Chains A and B, each alone.
Chain A
Amino acid sequence: MTTYLLKRIAMLVPLMLGITLITFTVIHLAPGEPVDMQMAMNPKVGKEARERLTKFYGLDKPLHEQYFTWLGRLARLDLGRSFSSDNRPVLDKIKERLPITLSLNLVALIIEFGLAIPIGVLAALKRNSHFDKGTTVFVYLGIAMPNFWLALLLMYLFGVKLSWLPISNLHTLGYESYSWVAQVWDLVKHLILPLIVASFGSLAGVSRYMRSGMLGVIGQDYIVTARAKGLSERVVIWKHALRNALLPLVTLLGFSVPGLIGGSVIIETIFSIPGMGQLFYQGVMSRDYPVVMGILVIGAFLTLLGNLLADIGYAFADPRVRLR
């Protein structure tokens, strides 16, 4: 196990360097220097400020020197300052958005797996039943439906037609004056639609995964053995079969780590949720390069870590993996 861990961790270094290289290439895709672009949009910034920025990003130096300066700052978690008028460090901006995105997506993830696992198992057990066929249709629709369209439909139905739920932001204006119970209720009401949209698409995929995992396990010899030694069907299915069918989901959980942190640009933009996705989108729209690069590079690092965690989790759960 230790050897496996060490091997995996050693692999991280070249991958991380690769990530920084690609991110750095993306920065230099811009026709003209990033500083020029920023200045062009803001004529008030004088020559002096331009020189300061050029110096900060080392744009007057050769490419490899720029790369190493940037890499050095990245190692100290210094992502530079935002180009926007508040001029705050990018890291601070990220810190302020992260809890919102993280909690929203964590709840969505719990809903997703909480529903997808039983749906997948039942569909597998009752193969070709009406329930199975129904979920198959639902899965195809879920995968093909653009999430922003689902969001629009829900906004129209529950927000506009029925006026049951608010359709944007996380709080009603002036919610500070409410009692805490009312504040919580207010937050819950604002979260219902984003949560439905955030969990719907992947719910379909995960339940499908669960179904095929379960179908694969049910035919195995050890299930026949469990039945043969007289265990009740419930114990066979929910203990012996489910545990093994859950294995592949560990990998899926790892894949959802970047989503937990990066959030969804689309959902956060539609529902005006001040999270990471919205920050990124605003950065893209206003060409706030430090913000875009910062989130991109952090997002990629976290994906890498998520994959590593998934693999380690898998190795813990399945001893066969460790031997390889």
Chain B
Amino acid sequence: MITLSNIEKVYQTKSIETVALQHVNLRVPKGEFLSIMGPSGCGKSTLLNIMGLLDVPSQGVVEIDGQAITSYKDKELAHIRNEKIGFVFQSYHLVNDLSVLDNVELPLLYRSSVSASDRTKLAKTALEKVGLSARTKHFPAQLSGGQRQRVAIARALIGQPQIILADEPTGNLDSVMGEEIMNILLDLNRQDGTTIVMVTHDENMAQKTERLVRFFDGQQVSDAKVFANNLQQV
């Protein structure tokens, strides 16, 4: 589903060159739930942004669904993101001025093939899936952290993307809420076959996924399958 070949990311300022990622080779097969762990600043989020085509690598090739993403124009990248990828962020990034329903509908605004009534129907279905169908008219500020993250997940899945990239989705939540969110993601992966890549600091959450990749100083240091709390090196 996603293949990263020899990815490097270097941030260049006038005086300093910061290497965020180096020699990253990673293949995420279709339907896999992969978690990425590592200390802060090790390049996890940068990697996720590159996978999500929000950022471009300094070197290397990203392939999505067998398509090498090189020299794509802004519009083409936007189209691929819209069709194939859903994002879940640690701080939810809901649009505070829009209702829950409008927030969830947002990705479909950029699909001309979906009518306004279908948009609303799909948004309601997505909210039902995350258990928030009673909150369609609420605004983000009226919701708890866990509820906001569920709205964010509904927004990520409304377009039925093949991939969901989740950047510390439970990072701002207490353990109970975190558990709830994790279960929703696991359901999505198991029932719908959605490929999920999740960056996390939480070892327990990572243990629930199928595969765990660890990073340190911009480099991939381990890659292991998870078998009922036991890791097996790939």
A, B assembled together? no
